[in-house]
Amino acid sequence: MRRLLNTLYVTSDGAWMKKDGANIVMMLEGEERGRLPAHMIESLVCFGRVLVSPPLMAYCSEQGIAISYFTPNGRFQARVEGPVSGNVLLRRAQYRATDDPAICTPIIRHLLAGKIHNQRSVARRQLRDRKNHLEDSEKKALELTVNRLERIGRRLMETEDADKLRGLEGEAAQRYFASFSALINGADEAFTFTGRNRRPPRDRVNAALSFVYTLLTHDCRSALEQTGLDPAVGFLHRDRPGRPSLALDLAEEFRPVLADRLVLTLINRRQLKANDFSVAENGAVLLTEDGRKIVLTAYQERKREELIHPYLQEAAPLGLVPSLQAQLLARHLRGDLDAYPPFIRS
Protein backbone atom coordinates (compact mmCIF):
# COMPACT_ATOMS: atom_id res chain seq x y z
CA MET A 1 0.00 0.00 0.00
CA ARG A 2 1.42 3.37 -0.96
CA ARG A 3 2.14 6.06 1.62
CA LEU A 4 -0.26 8.96 2.14
CA LEU A 5 1.51 12.14 1.06
CA ASN A 6 0.53 15.70 1.90
CA THR A 7 -1.37 18.20 -0.18
CA LEU A 8 0.14 21.68 0.12
CA TYR A 9 -2.61 24.31 0.19
CA VAL A 10 -1.56 27.92 -0.42
CA THR A 11 -4.22 30.48 0.51
CA SER A 12 -2.13 33.64 1.02
CA ASP A 13 -2.91 36.17 -1.67
CA GLY A 14 0.24 37.29 -3.49
CA ALA A 15 2.35 34.30 -2.40
CA TRP A 16 5.34 33.39 -4.58
CA MET A 17 6.17 29.68 -4.76
CA LYS A 18 9.66 28.74 -5.83
CA LYS A 19 12.13 25.86 -5.89
CA ASP A 20 15.20 25.68 -3.67
CA GLY A 21 17.03 22.43 -4.22
CA ALA A 22 14.53 19.67 -3.45
CA ASN A 23 12.32 22.00 -1.41
CA ILE A 24 9.19 23.98 -2.18
CA VAL A 25 9.47 27.45 -0.66
CA MET A 26 6.71 30.04 -0.13
CA MET A 27 7.69 33.71 -0.21
CA LEU A 28 5.33 36.47 0.90
CA GLU A 29 6.19 40.17 0.78
CA GLY A 30 9.84 39.29 0.17
CA GLU A 31 10.12 37.00 3.22
CA GLU A 32 10.26 33.22 3.41
CA ARG A 33 7.11 31.98 5.14
CA GLY A 34 7.34 28.24 4.59
CA ARG A 35 9.53 25.45 3.28
CA LEU A 36 8.71 21.78 2.66
CA PRO A 37 10.68 18.89 1.09
CA ALA A 38 9.10 18.03 -2.26
CA HIS A 39 9.20 14.28 -1.57
CA MET A 40 6.52 14.80 1.12
CA ILE A 41 4.12 16.52 -1.31
CA GLU A 42 1.59 14.85 -3.58
CA SER A 43 -0.04 17.98 -4.97
CA LEU A 44 0.14 21.76 -4.73
CA VAL A 45 -3.21 23.59 -4.53
CA CYS A 46 -3.26 27.37 -4.99
CA PHE A 47 -6.22 29.56 -4.02
CA GLY A 48 -6.49 33.03 -5.51
CA ARG A 49 -3.51 35.07 -6.69
CA VAL A 50 -0.63 32.64 -6.10
CA LEU A 51 2.38 32.68 -8.43
CA VAL A 52 4.46 29.59 -9.17
CA SER A 53 7.94 30.00 -10.64
CA PRO A 54 8.72 28.22 -13.94
CA PRO A 55 11.57 26.16 -12.34
CA LEU A 56 9.19 24.94 -9.62
CA MET A 57 6.50 24.16 -12.20
CA ALA A 58 8.97 22.10 -14.24
CA TYR A 59 10.28 20.34 -11.10
CA CYS A 60 6.75 19.45 -9.96
CA SER A 61 5.98 18.03 -13.41
CA GLU A 62 9.10 15.84 -13.25
CA GLN A 63 8.28 14.65 -9.71
CA GLY A 64 4.63 13.85 -10.43
CA ILE A 65 3.33 16.73 -8.26
CA ALA A 66 0.18 18.20 -9.79
CA ILE A 67 -0.41 21.95 -9.43
CA SER A 68 -4.07 23.01 -9.25
CA TYR A 69 -5.48 26.52 -9.30
CA PHE A 70 -8.74 27.53 -7.61
CA THR A 71 -10.53 30.82 -7.12
CA PRO A 72 -10.50 32.13 -3.52
CA ASN A 73 -13.94 30.55 -2.94
CA GLY A 74 -12.83 27.14 -4.22
CA ARG A 75 -13.95 27.03 -7.86
CA PHE A 76 -11.59 24.95 -9.99
CA GLN A 77 -9.72 26.89 -12.69
CA ALA A 78 -6.78 24.88 -14.04
CA ARG A 79 -4.42 22.00 -13.41
CA VAL A 80 -0.79 21.62 -14.44
CA GLU A 81 0.82 18.19 -14.47
CA GLY A 82 3.53 16.23 -16.21
CA PRO A 83 3.05 13.40 -18.72
CA VAL A 84 0.06 11.22 -17.84
CA SER A 85 1.05 7.59 -17.35
CA GLY A 86 -2.44 6.21 -17.82
CA ASN A 87 -2.73 2.62 -18.96
CA VAL A 88 -4.25 2.78 -22.44
CA LEU A 89 -5.71 -0.72 -22.14
CA LEU A 90 -7.38 0.16 -18.84
CA ARG A 91 -8.80 3.37 -20.30
CA ARG A 92 -10.16 1.53 -23.33
CA ALA A 93 -11.87 -0.92 -20.96
CA GLN A 94 -13.29 2.07 -19.08
CA TYR A 95 -14.66 3.65 -22.27
CA ARG A 96 -16.26 0.38 -23.36
CA ALA A 97 -17.81 -0.10 -19.92
CA THR A 98 -19.48 3.34 -19.91
CA ASP A 99 -21.26 2.43 -23.17
CA ASP A 100 -22.30 -1.06 -22.00
CA PRO A 101 -25.41 -1.01 -19.75
CA ALA A 102 -24.59 -4.50 -18.46
CA ILE A 103 -21.36 -3.16 -16.92
CA CYS A 104 -22.28 0.49 -16.34
CA THR A 105 -25.55 -0.03 -14.44
CA PRO A 106 -24.12 -2.29 -11.68
CA ILE A 107 -21.28 0.19 -11.12
CA ILE A 108 -23.80 3.02 -10.72
CA ARG A 109 -25.84 0.88 -8.32
CA HIS A 110 -22.83 0.10 -6.12
CA LEU A 111 -21.61 3.70 -6.10
CA LEU A 112 -25.02 4.85 -4.96
CA ALA A 113 -25.36 2.01 -2.46
CA GLY A 114 -22.18 3.26 -0.79
CA LYS A 115 -23.35 6.88 -0.82
CA ILE A 116 -26.83 6.20 0.57
CA HIS A 117 -25.49 3.83 3.23
CA ASN A 118 -23.04 6.52 4.33
CA GLN A 119 -25.72 9.22 4.35
CA ARG A 120 -27.80 7.01 6.63
CA SER A 121 -24.76 6.42 8.85
CA VAL A 122 -24.25 10.17 9.27
CA ALA A 123 -27.90 10.71 10.20
CA ARG A 124 -27.94 7.71 12.54
CA ARG A 125 -24.70 8.78 14.23
CA GLN A 126 -25.96 12.31 14.85
CA LEU A 127 -29.27 10.93 16.12
CA ARG A 128 -27.34 8.83 18.64
CA ASP A 129 -24.80 11.47 19.68
CA ARG A 130 -27.21 14.40 19.97
CA LYS A 131 -30.35 12.63 21.20
CA ASN A 132 -30.36 14.63 24.44
CA HIS A 133 -30.11 17.93 22.58
CA LEU A 134 -32.72 17.35 19.90
CA GLU A 135 -36.31 18.47 19.97
CA ASP A 136 -38.98 15.83 19.40
CA SER A 137 -39.64 17.16 15.88
CA GLU A 138 -35.93 16.89 15.02
CA LYS A 139 -35.73 13.34 16.36
CA LYS A 140 -38.73 12.33 14.30
CA ALA A 141 -37.26 13.96 11.19
CA LEU A 142 -33.97 12.10 11.61
CA GLU A 143 -35.68 8.80 12.35
CA LEU A 144 -37.81 9.27 9.24
CA THR A 145 -34.68 10.04 7.20
CA VAL A 146 -32.84 6.94 8.46
CA ASN A 147 -35.84 4.71 7.64
CA ARG A 148 -36.46 6.34 4.27
CA LEU A 149 -32.82 5.99 3.22
CA GLU A 150 -32.88 2.33 4.24
CA ARG A 151 -35.94 1.73 2.03
CA ILE A 152 -34.35 3.61 -0.88
CA GLY A 153 -31.24 1.46 -0.47
CA ARG A 154 -33.35 -1.70 -0.80
CA ARG A 155 -35.12 -0.35 -3.89
CA LEU A 156 -31.73 0.52 -5.33
CA MET A 157 -30.62 -3.12 -5.33
CA GLU A 158 -33.79 -4.14 -7.21
CA THR A 159 -33.50 -1.51 -9.96
CA GLU A 160 -31.93 -2.37 -13.31
CA ASP A 161 -32.34 0.94 -15.16
CA ALA A 162 -29.54 3.53 -14.88
CA ASP A 163 -31.87 6.54 -15.11
CA LYS A 164 -34.12 5.13 -12.39
CA LEU A 165 -31.05 4.63 -10.22
CA ARG A 166 -30.19 8.30 -10.71
CA GLY A 167 -33.76 9.16 -9.74
CA LEU A 168 -33.40 7.20 -6.49
CA GLU A 169 -30.17 9.05 -5.78
CA GLY A 170 -32.01 12.34 -6.17
CA GLU A 171 -34.78 11.15 -3.86
CA ALA A 172 -32.24 10.11 -1.22
CA ALA A 173 -30.39 13.43 -1.45
CA GLN A 174 -33.64 15.38 -1.09
CA ARG A 175 -34.61 13.40 2.02
CA TYR A 176 -31.11 13.63 3.51
CA PHE A 177 -30.75 17.39 3.14
CA ALA A 178 -34.36 17.99 4.20
CA SER A 179 -33.36 16.85 7.70
CA PHE A 180 -29.79 18.17 7.61
CA SER A 181 -30.68 21.14 9.80
CA ALA A 182 -31.41 18.71 12.66
CA LEU A 183 -27.75 17.66 12.53
CA ILE A 184 -26.63 21.23 13.26
CA ASN A 185 -26.54 22.76 16.70
CA GLY A 186 -29.22 25.42 16.33
CA ALA A 187 -27.86 27.76 19.01
CA ASP A 188 -26.17 29.96 16.40
CA GLU A 189 -28.66 31.42 13.93
CA ALA A 190 -25.79 32.28 11.57
CA PHE A 191 -25.70 28.59 10.58
CA THR A 192 -29.35 28.17 9.71
CA PHE A 193 -29.79 25.59 6.94
CA THR A 194 -32.94 25.44 4.83
CA GLY A 195 -31.73 23.24 1.96
CA ARG A 196 -28.86 22.52 -0.36
CA ASN A 197 -27.95 25.35 -2.75
CA ARG A 198 -24.81 26.18 -4.73
CA ARG A 199 -23.36 28.23 -7.60
CA PRO A 200 -23.26 30.34 -5.57
CA PRO A 201 -23.97 29.04 -2.05
CA ARG A 202 -26.37 31.37 -0.24
CA ASP A 203 -25.70 30.47 3.39
CA ARG A 204 -22.72 29.54 5.55
CA VAL A 205 -23.44 25.82 5.76
CA ASN A 206 -23.69 25.47 1.99
CA ALA A 207 -20.53 27.55 1.53
CA ALA A 208 -18.58 25.18 3.78
CA LEU A 209 -20.07 22.07 2.14
CA SER A 210 -19.29 23.29 -1.39
CA PHE A 211 -15.72 24.15 -0.43
CA VAL A 212 -15.03 20.71 1.07
CA TYR A 213 -16.74 18.97 -1.87
CA THR A 214 -14.30 20.78 -4.16
CA LEU A 215 -11.33 19.54 -2.12
CA LEU A 216 -12.71 16.01 -2.16
CA THR A 217 -13.26 16.03 -5.93
CA HIS A 218 -9.68 17.22 -6.41
CA ASP A 219 -8.39 14.29 -4.33
CA CYS A 220 -10.57 11.81 -6.22
CA ARG A 221 -9.35 13.14 -9.55
CA SER A 222 -5.73 12.70 -8.45
CA ALA A 223 -6.47 9.15 -7.25
CA LEU A 224 -8.00 8.18 -10.60
CA GLU A 225 -5.14 9.64 -12.63
CA GLN A 226 -2.56 7.83 -10.48
CA THR A 227 -4.46 4.59 -11.10
CA GLY A 228 -4.53 5.18 -14.86
CA LEU A 229 -8.25 5.90 -15.26
CA ASP A 230 -9.68 8.85 -17.18
CA PRO A 231 -11.36 11.18 -14.61
CA ALA A 232 -13.50 12.80 -17.34
CA VAL A 233 -15.44 9.67 -18.34
CA GLY A 234 -17.87 8.57 -15.65
CA PHE A 235 -20.74 6.19 -15.04
CA LEU A 236 -23.17 7.95 -12.69
CA HIS A 237 -22.42 11.46 -14.00
CA ARG A 238 -22.93 11.80 -17.73
CA ASP A 239 -20.12 13.06 -19.93
CA ARG A 240 -19.94 16.82 -20.25
CA PRO A 241 -17.05 18.90 -21.65
CA GLY A 242 -14.82 20.15 -18.86
CA ARG A 243 -16.46 18.06 -16.13
CA PRO A 244 -14.45 15.37 -14.26
CA SER A 245 -17.39 12.96 -14.29
CA LEU A 246 -15.60 9.90 -12.89
CA ALA A 247 -14.01 12.00 -10.12
CA LEU A 248 -17.50 13.18 -9.18
CA ASP A 249 -18.68 9.54 -9.26
CA LEU A 250 -15.94 8.44 -6.89
CA ALA A 251 -16.51 11.41 -4.57
CA GLU A 252 -20.16 10.46 -4.00
CA GLU A 253 -19.27 7.68 -1.55
CA PHE A 254 -17.05 10.00 0.50
CA ARG A 255 -19.24 13.10 0.67
CA PRO A 256 -21.23 12.01 3.75
CA VAL A 257 -18.37 10.55 5.79
CA LEU A 258 -15.55 12.91 4.86
CA ALA A 259 -17.17 16.19 3.82
CA ASP A 260 -20.55 16.34 5.60
CA ARG A 261 -19.28 15.03 8.93
CA LEU A 262 -16.31 17.37 8.80
CA VAL A 263 -18.51 20.44 8.21
CA LEU A 264 -20.92 19.36 10.95
CA THR A 265 -18.04 18.94 13.39
CA LEU A 266 -16.55 22.34 12.59
CA ILE A 267 -19.91 24.07 13.05
CA ASN A 268 -21.13 22.17 16.10
CA ARG A 269 -17.82 22.59 17.92
CA ARG A 270 -17.79 26.31 17.11
CA GLN A 271 -14.52 26.00 15.20
CA LEU A 272 -16.17 27.83 12.33
CA LYS A 273 -17.80 31.11 13.30
CA ALA A 274 -20.02 33.58 11.49
CA ASN A 275 -17.13 35.98 10.82
CA ASP A 276 -15.23 33.22 8.98
CA PHE A 277 -17.57 33.92 6.04
CA SER A 278 -18.24 36.93 3.86
CA VAL A 279 -21.40 37.86 1.95
CA ALA A 280 -21.04 39.28 -1.57
CA GLU A 281 -23.35 41.85 -3.15
CA ASN A 282 -25.10 39.14 -5.18
CA GLY A 283 -25.91 37.19 -1.99
CA ALA A 284 -23.15 34.60 -2.42
CA VAL A 285 -21.65 33.44 0.87
CA LEU A 286 -17.93 32.63 0.79
CA LEU A 287 -15.31 31.50 3.26
CA THR A 288 -12.77 34.15 4.22
CA GLU A 289 -9.04 33.40 4.11
CA ASP A 290 -9.08 32.58 7.83
CA GLY A 291 -12.14 30.38 7.32
CA ARG A 292 -10.45 28.49 4.50
CA LYS A 293 -7.41 27.86 6.68
CA ILE A 294 -9.61 26.40 9.43
CA VAL A 295 -11.34 24.07 6.98
CA LEU A 296 -8.12 23.04 5.21
CA THR A 297 -6.37 22.22 8.49
CA ALA A 298 -9.31 20.13 9.69
CA TYR A 299 -9.58 18.41 6.29
CA GLN A 300 -5.92 17.38 6.36
CA GLU A 301 -6.27 16.08 9.92
CA ARG A 302 -9.37 14.11 8.97
CA LYS A 303 -7.55 12.49 6.07
CA ARG A 304 -4.90 11.17 8.48
CA GLU A 305 -7.44 9.26 10.58
CA GLU A 306 -6.87 5.50 10.35
CA LEU A 307 -9.62 3.00 9.60
CA ILE A 308 -10.03 -0.60 8.53
CA HIS A 309 -11.00 -0.73 4.87
CA PRO A 310 -14.35 -2.60 4.72
CA TYR A 311 -13.38 -4.71 1.68
CA LEU A 312 -9.61 -5.08 1.92
CA GLN A 313 -9.69 -5.46 5.73
CA GLU A 314 -6.44 -3.52 6.02
CA ALA A 315 -5.65 -0.42 8.06
CA ALA A 316 -5.34 2.75 5.97
CA PRO A 317 -5.62 6.51 6.50
CA LEU A 318 -8.93 7.93 5.29
CA GLY A 319 -7.10 10.16 2.80
CA LEU A 320 -5.76 7.08 1.01
CA VAL A 321 -9.17 5.43 0.58
CA PRO A 322 -10.02 7.26 -2.70
CA SER A 323 -6.87 5.71 -4.21
CA LEU A 324 -7.85 2.28 -2.91
CA GLN A 325 -11.34 2.65 -4.35
CA ALA A 326 -9.90 3.78 -7.70
CA GLN A 327 -7.73 0.66 -7.73
CA LEU A 328 -10.72 -1.55 -6.94
CA LEU A 329 -12.65 0.06 -9.79
CA ALA A 330 -9.71 -0.57 -12.13
CA ARG A 331 -9.58 -4.21 -11.04
CA HIS A 332 -13.28 -4.58 -11.79
CA LEU A 333 -12.91 -2.99 -15.24
CA ARG A 334 -10.02 -5.35 -16.00
CA GLY A 335 -12.19 -8.33 -15.02
CA ASP A 336 -10.28 -9.22 -11.85
CA LEU A 337 -13.30 -8.47 -9.62
CA ASP A 338 -16.87 -9.52 -10.37
CA ALA A 339 -18.25 -6.24 -9.01
CA TYR A 340 -17.06 -2.89 -7.73
CA PRO A 341 -17.11 -2.93 -3.91
CA PRO A 342 -18.29 0.47 -2.61
CA PHE A 343 -16.77 2.19 0.41
CA ILE A 344 -19.17 2.00 3.34
CA ARG A 345 -18.65 3.47 6.78
CA SER A 346 -20.66 2.77 9.90
Give 219-258 pLDDT, tens digit per residue. 999 889 888 899 999 999 988 877 899 999 999 999 999 9
Q: For residues 44 and 56, what is the distance between their CA atoms, to the nearest angstrom?
A: 11
Average pLDDT in the 148-158 region? 90
Among candidates 160, 199, 346, 341, which has minimal Cα distance to 282?
A: 199
pLDDT tens profile 30-87: 888 888 888 888 788 888 888 988 999 898 888 888 888 888 767 777 788 777 666 7
Q: For residues 222 and 201, what is the distance between their CA atoms, to the nearest angstrom?
A: 25
Q: What pLDDT score was predicted for residue 185?
A: 76
Query: How much is the pTM?
Result: 0.84
pLDDT tens profile 262-289: 999 999 888 988 898 888 878 788 888 8
Q: For residues 59 and 196, what is the distance between their CA atoms, to the nearest angstrom?
A: 41
Q: Domains in the chain, start-ordered, CATH in brackets?
A: 6-80 (3.100.10.20), 88-334 (1.20.120.920)
pLDDT tens profile 216-225: 998 999 889 8
Q: Which residue has the higher pLDDT, 133 or 297?
A: 297
Contact, 25 vs 33, CB < 8 A? Answer: no
Contact, 215 vs 297, CB < 8 A? Answer: no
Residue type (1 letter), 281: E
| pLDDT exceeds 60 at position 1 | no
Q: Is 225 exposed, middle or buried (0-12, 13-18, 19+ CB in 10 A)?
A: buried
Q: For residues 30 and 6, what is the distance between their CA atoms, to the nearest angstrom?
A: 25
Q: For residues 39 and 63, what is the distance between their CA atoms, to the nearest angstrom?
A: 8
Distance of CA 323 to the CA centre of its chain: 12
Q: What pLDDT score was predicted for residue 3?
A: 61
By three-state DSSP, how is residue 4 classified?
coil
Q: For residues 265 and 300, what is the distance between their CA atoms, to the nearest angstrom?
A: 14
Task: Tell me the percentage of the chain whose pLDDT exceeds 90.
Answer: 33
Contact, 25 vs 17, CB < 8 A? Answer: yes
